[in-house]
Amino acid sequence: MSATPLAAGTLPAGLVWDADRGRLKVRDPRLAEIVLRDQHIITGVDHGKSGRAGELPPPGQAPTITQFFEMWYTVGEHYPVFNSELRKAFTPRTVHAFGAAFRAEADRLVAGMPSRGDLARDYLSPYLTHSTFLLLGVPEREWTRLAKVSRLVIHLFKQQLLGVTEYGERERAAFATTMLYLKRLTDELLAGPGTEPFLVAARQLATVDPGNWPIAALIGQLLMAGIEPMIVGSSIACREIWSSPHLRESILRETVDTGELAEEVLRQHPPFGNIFRFVSEPCDCLGVRLPLGTIVAVDTAAVNLSHHPAADPARGCPVRPSELLTFGKGTHYCLGAHSARLQVATGLRQLVHGAPELAVDVAAVRIDTSNNLKEVRAIPYRIGSGDAG
C-alpha cells in the first residue's frame, strides 16, 4: 500500500496519518462508528468464506494454530445462528444470576491471599479465570487444566498481535496436546448434565455445526477475549484506586457503584490501545479516498474521551456504556460485555471490602503498553501495617 495519498493531503478532523506505523488513526466517535460498520473496512478475513467444516482436522487430530485462530474470525454460513444463540447466554439478566457465585469465589480467594505478593498473580488472575469457568459451566475439577489452555491461547494470540506466524516443533506439539484436551472437555460438557446458559446454547449450536471443534474454538476465544482483558482492566483499576485514596474510600463507604467507578477508569485507560480494521475495497467512507489495504486503527481512549473529557471516577462514569469502545460497540460489541462488567466490579468491591488493610506499591506497578493489549508485569501488594514492598 502506498502511504502518499493519505499522508500528502489534508485529512478530515478526527483522522491522523501515522507515518511511522503506516496506518490511519481514527480519533473521532462518529468516524469510529463508520469504521466498525462499513462493509469496505473489515477485520482482515474473508467474511464470505464458507465450507469451514472441510478445513477441520480429521477425527483424533488437532487443528493447526492457524486453523484454530481462523475458526475465531471466519464468518461462515452459520454465523447468524451462532450469534443469536450465544447472545442469549450473555444477557444482563442471565449474567446477574451468577453474581452470588462470583462474590463467593472472590471472597474465597481474598481470604487465602498471602500477606504480600503480586495482586495479579495471587488474586485477579485466579478470580477472573474461575468466574469465567463458572459462567461457562466448567466443573471445578477441570479448572487447573483449563487454566493452562487459557494461558497458552493467550500467549499465542499475543504472538499473533506481534506478527508471529511461524512456530517451533515444541510449541506446535504443546498446542496439539492442549487442543485435544480442549476437544475432549468440550465433548464432555456438551454430553453432560450442566444447565448453565452457555452450555444450553452450545448444545443447540452443536446440532447446527457438528463436530464440536467450532464450540471448542469458541471456548478458547472466550478464554482469551474475556479473561486477559479483564485481568488487564482490573489491574489498571487497582492502580488507579490505590493511587487515589478517595477512590478506595468511596468503595468502602459505598458512595459510588464499583461498576461505575471501574467503567470510568477503563474509559480513560482501556486495556486495548486500538481496534484494527483493513480496507478491502477502495472507498471514501471517511471523507477521504482510502486505498485498498489501508490499515485503519481506531484509537480507543481518544474515541472514548473525544466528546466527554476524563472525569473523577469517584463520581461514576458520565456517559452510557453504549457510548464507549472499552467493551466494544456496533459490530465490534463484546459478546461478554455484561459479564465482564459484573466480574470486574465484583472482584474490585470484594477485594477492597475483604482486605481493607491491603496496600499496593503504586510506584512499582508495571503495566506494559508495547502490545496492543496491555500486559500486566507486576502489582506488588502487602496486607497489614506499613507500605507495600
Confidence of residue 67 (pLDDT cuts 50, 70, 90): confident
Rounded to an integer, what distance in angstroms lies between the CA atom of residue 301 and that of residue 270? 6
Confidence of residue 209 (pLDDT cuts 50, 70, 90): low
List the grid coordinates of 308: 466527554
pLDDT > 80? residue 107: yes
Q: In the predicted model, what is the mean pLDDT of the chain?
A: 87
Rounded to an integer, what distance in angstroms lies between the CA atom of residue 31 and that of residue 48? 25
Confidence of residue 250 (pLDDT cuts 50, 70, 90): very high
Looking at the 3D structure of the chain, how many domains does it have? 1
Burial of 32 (0-12, 13-18, 19+ CB in 10 A): buried
**375 in a structural domain:** yes
**53 in a structural domain:** yes
Can you tell me which residue has the cell 501488594?
A: 381
* Predicted pLDDT at 160: 74
The arithmetic mean of pLDDT across residues 344-353, rounded, is 98
Alpha-carbon torsion, ordered 74, 76, 78, 81, to 10 deg: 50
Rounded to an integer, what distance in angstroms lies between the CA atom of residue 351 and that of residue 183? 35
pLDDT > 70? residue 51: no
Task: Dump pLDDT digits (tens) for 69-98.
Answer: 777 655 455 566 677 788 889 999 999 999
Confidence of residue 55 (pLDDT cuts 50, 70, 90): low
The arithmetic mean of pLDDT across residues 46-75, rounded, is 65
Cβ 118 vs Cβ 381: under 8 Å: yes
Helix intervals (H) in the chain: 4-8, 29-37, 65-73, 79-88, 92-96, 99-111, 119, 125-136, 143-161, 169-191, 197-208, 213-222, 228-243, 245-252, 258-268, 300-305, 337-354
Distances, alpha carbon 359 to alpha carbons 7, 117, 123, 244, in Å? 48, 11, 14, 12
**261 in a structural domain:** yes
Q: Calculate the CA 91 to chain-centre distance.
A: 17
Task: Dump pLDDT digits (tens) for 144-182.
Answer: 999 999 988 888 877 876 777 788 898 889 999 999 999
**125 in a structural domain:** yes
**133 in a structural domain:** yes
**389 in a structural domain:** no
In 3-state terms, what secondary structure has residue 188? helix
Which amino acid appears at position 87 of this protein? R
**32 in a structural domain:** yes
Burial of 244 (0-12, 13-18, 19+ CB in 10 A): middle
Please state the pTM of the whole predicted model.
0.89
CATH number at residue 314: 1.10.630.10
pLDDT > 90? residue 42: no
**252 in a structural domain:** yes
Q: Which domain holds residue 361?
A: 4-383
Which residues contact residue 194 at a Cβ distance below 8 angstroms, ignoring those fewer than 6 apart? 137, 139
